């Protein structure tokens, strides 16, 4: 197993990308208004070509509220997955998107990675994370 400290999130090596294609529960860390971290389990998809990670959620969730509160510049966030000694973290700026085609893209990618289509949810939004850093030991 290769040890990786940092990779380009837009051009990851094969082992890093392969690890993100495996089915794993992940975590999303956002910041509350008081600056303390809020960490929750989520499904994450990684699109290195677009330098994006995506999370689908209900528009009224705490994670969506935290991201929205950061304003137009987006919220600093991190997503992470762990499998034994293997781990990978993606960091970047997140925004909440509501445009149907962007939410649907996130849903399709989620279904592809996790092997099932989420139940319909008219309040669903997507959190899109523009990636600035990738770390890990895949």
Domain ranges across the chain: 4-137
pLDDT tens-digit series, residues 95-122:
999 999 999 999 999 999 999 999 999 9
**Per-residue pLDDT, 5:** 80
* DSSP label of 55: E
Cα 121 from Cα 116, distance rounded (Å)? 15
pLDDT tens-digit series, residues 76-99:
999 999 999 999 999 999 999 999
Cα 1 from Cα 56, distance rounded (Å)? 31
What pTM value is reported for the model? 0.95
Using alpha carbons, list the distances in angstroms from residue 125 to 13, 74, 88, 112.
30, 15, 24, 18
Cα atoms in the Cβ-side hemisphere of radius 13 Å centred on 76: 7
- Residue pair 92/131 in contact by the 8 Å Cβ criterion: yes
Instruction: Assign a CATH topology to domain 4-137.
Output: Pnp Oxidase; Chain A (2.30.110)
């Amino acid at each position: 197993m290769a040890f990786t400290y940092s990779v380009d999130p837009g051009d990851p090596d094969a082992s890093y990308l392969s690890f993100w294609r495996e089915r794993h529960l992940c975590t999303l860390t956002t910041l509350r208004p008081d600056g303390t971290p809020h960490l929750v389990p989520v499904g994450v998809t990684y699109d290195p070509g677009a330098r994006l990670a995506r999370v689908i959620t209900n528009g009224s969730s705490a994670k969506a509220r935290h991201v929205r509160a950061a304003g137009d510049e987006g919220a600093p966030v991190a997503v992470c997955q762990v499998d034994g000694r293997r781990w990978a973290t993606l960091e970047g700026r997140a925004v909440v998107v509501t445009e149907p085609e962007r939410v649907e893209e996130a849903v399709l990618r989620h279904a592809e990675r996790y092997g099932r289509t989420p139940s319909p949810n008219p309040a669903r939004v997507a959190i899109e994370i523009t990636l600035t850093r990738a770390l890990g030991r895949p």
